[in-house]
Amino acid sequence: MSGTAVFPAIVLGDRFARELPELAIAWRAERAPDPRLLVLNGPLAERLGLDPAWLRGPDGLALLTGAQLPEGARPVAQGYAGHQFGGYSPRLGDGRALLLGELADPDGRPVDLHLKGSGRTPFARGGDGLAAVGPMLREYVVSEAMHALGIPTTRSLAVVATGARVQRETELPGAVLARVAASHLRVGSFQYARATDDLDLLRRLADHAIDRHHPAAAAAEHPYRALYAAVVDAQARLIAQWMLVGFVHGVMNTDNMTISGESIDFGPCAFLDAFDPATVFSSIDEGGRYAYGNQPAVGQWNLARLAEALLPLLADDEQDAVAVATELLGGYAPAYRAVYAAGLRRKFGLPDGLPDGLEDAVAGTLIDQALTQMEQSRVDFTGFFRDLAAAARGDAEPARSRFLDLAAFDDWLARWRALDPDPDAMGRVNPVYIPRNHLVEQALAAAVDGDLDPLHHLLAAVTDPYRARPGFERYADPAPEDFGDYRTFCGT
């Protein structure tokens, strides 16, 4: 498959295509008329054994746009189904994306190298197969910020402007995102396999998922039950971590929920500024199905759809299988609560165990009261915890000034300080810099106009999020008043 490009010892595996041909359609990327690199993730490239200098050159760009691939590569569009806003679509799949193949991470584990915006595929339906520069850079920024926050996520390797024009509400410059993931298996992959009524395919898919993501399940008495339990646990943890940083995914359809437990598909996503569980950013989420505070429940709903797809593997008898699935899904809420409660406690600088088993009575109630006050005063979720650490060091004014009911907050503060919160520990878990919506919008708009400096500054801030640095003050500030009610659009 190589043309004129020289590929220095890059091997792109074809394991997915080989093991699951029913879920893979061999396909090639559309040619980018005038490829131009916008951003490259040098450290990630090196982790994957790719030379950043080479990737920046013409042969590297040929790889990053799918124009030419190493010998033996078998790029495919992946098939999957999905519930979108609750409605089932039996055939979604990579309409504008391609799995180029598998690379190895430094531990030898396979990771997918995948393109988004690489042209129409047989799954494109009415879509044009393309992506615009802005949304691909948004995915780059948010996924790398999530990674820096220690949250499992797909990574972004590069965004290349294609030179093509993309018609959305207006005409926009096109781009291809190269991303890296533990895999692109989704709840929707299992729904797709299940809908074929081919039990052997479903089993092969489950075996593939166990081997790649949850290998301990292979040794369990019931490997497929253990697989399901592991996905339930991984997603409970993931969504708890989203909640702890104020992340709103925006499109938690079952085709956007991974089996690995990584965050994926950063479309109309955004981070909370004011703490309010009803926050919705996506312009298409009119009912607030994917509001910040609904995410834990939606995760559970999606996992119930995964259980339905897996039923034939959970027990021979369907009623038994439903009982098994129900019991395993019952692990979701406690797993979520454990990670969320421990995470909140760390955000508030409180130790894991208080004397006399007072934890829940003291810390739990205190934290609930703080969240209520934060919601009432529309307190900036990220900024508050940094100011609270300052309050633990003796400077309470920045935190106090965020609240409308000062008497209530002062009362709360006195009771919190009595628990001896640890400001240094707070500094390690509460980020200074998140990809704030107004900064993301500014950086993307500048990039579309040819100025990449704001994007690089933003990336410098959010990829090192816990260390306050001079020169980055405005990256820690909330949006200016005139930024208004933020909406992200699904013209991705």
* Cβ proximity to ligand AMP, 78 vs 377, nearer residue: 78
Q: Is 191 in the site for ligand AMP (CB under 6 A)?
A: no
Instruction: By CB under 5 A, name the one of 68, 89, 118, 256 that touches Mg ion.
Output: 256
CA distances from 373 to 244, 402, 405, 407 (A): 17, 10, 8, 11
Map residue 327 onto helix, strand or coil. helix
Q: Is 235 in the site for ligand AMP (CB under 6 A)?
A: no
Instruction: By CB under 6 A, name the one of 65, 143, 162, 256 that touches ligand AMP.
Output: 256
Instruction: By CB under 6 A, name the one of 79, 101, 129, 431 that touches ligand AMP.
Output: 129
CA–CA dist 274, 288 (Å, integer) = 17
Instruction: By CB under 6 A, name the one of 70, 79, 173, 267 that touches ligand AMP.
Output: 267
Map residue 27 onto helix, strand or coil. coil
Q: Per CB under 6 A, which region of 95-103, 149-157, 397-405, 425-433 contacts ligand AMP?
A: 95-103
Q: Per CB under 6 A, which region of 121-129, 357-365, 405-413, 432-440 contacts ligand AMP?
A: 121-129
Q: Which does 124 bind (CB under 5 to 8 A by kind): ligand AMP, Mg ion, none?
A: ligand AMP
Q: Where are the beta strands (DSSP E) in 354-403?
A: none
CA–CA dist 102, 183 (Å, integer) = 9
CA–CA dist 227, 215 (Å, integer) = 9
CA–CA dist 39, 12 (Å, integer) = 22
Q: Is 254 in the site for Mg ion (CB under 5 A)?
A: no
* Cβ proximity to ligand AMP, 48 vs 98, nearer residue: 98
By the 10 Å C-beta count (0-12 exposed, 13-18 middle, 19+ buried), 124 is classed as: middle
Q: What is the largest CA-CA distance in the chain?
A: 72
Q: Which of the residues 14, 94, 255, 285 is marked catalytic? A: 255
* Cβ proximity to ligand AMP, 21 vs 127, nearer residue: 127
By the 10 Å C-beta count (0-12 exposed, 13-18 middle, 19+ buried), 270 is classed as: buried
Q: Mask 265-304, x = binds Mg ion (CB under 5 A)?
A: x---------------------------------------
The helix (H) or strand (E) run that includes residue 212 is helix 199-213
Q: Answer for the pair 281, 295: CB distance below 8 angstroms, yes or no.
A: no
* Radius of gyration, CA atoms only, the chain: 23
Q: Is 112 labeled as catalytic in the residue annotation?
A: no
Looking at beta carbons, which residue is closest to Mg ion? 265
Q: Per CB under 6 A, which region of 88-96, 273-281, 329-337, 418-426 contacts ligand AMP?
A: 88-96
Q: Is 94 in the site for ligand AMP (CB under 6 A)?
A: yes
Q: How far is the CB of 291 from ligand AMP (least distance, A)?
A: 18
Q: Is 254 in the site for ligand AMP (CB under 6 A)?
A: no
CA–CA dist 340, 368 (Å, integer) = 12
Q: Per CB under 5 A, which region of 4-12, 255-263, 292-300, 453-461 contacts Mg ion?
A: 255-263
CA–CA dist 466, 389 (Å, integer) = 13
Q: Answer for the pair 338, 352: CB distance below 8 angstroms, yes or no.
A: no
* Cβ proximity to ligand AMP, 13 vs 267, nearer residue: 267
* Cβ proximity to ligand AMP, 16 vs 123, nearer residue: 123
By the 10 Å C-beta count (0-12 exposed, 13-18 middle, 19+ buried), 401 is classed as: exposed
Binding footprint of ligand AMP on the chain (CB under 6 A): 92-97, 123-124, 127-130, 251, 255-256, 265, 267, 492
Q: Catalytic residue numbers?
A: 255
Binding footprint of Mg ion on the chain (CB under 5 A): 256, 265
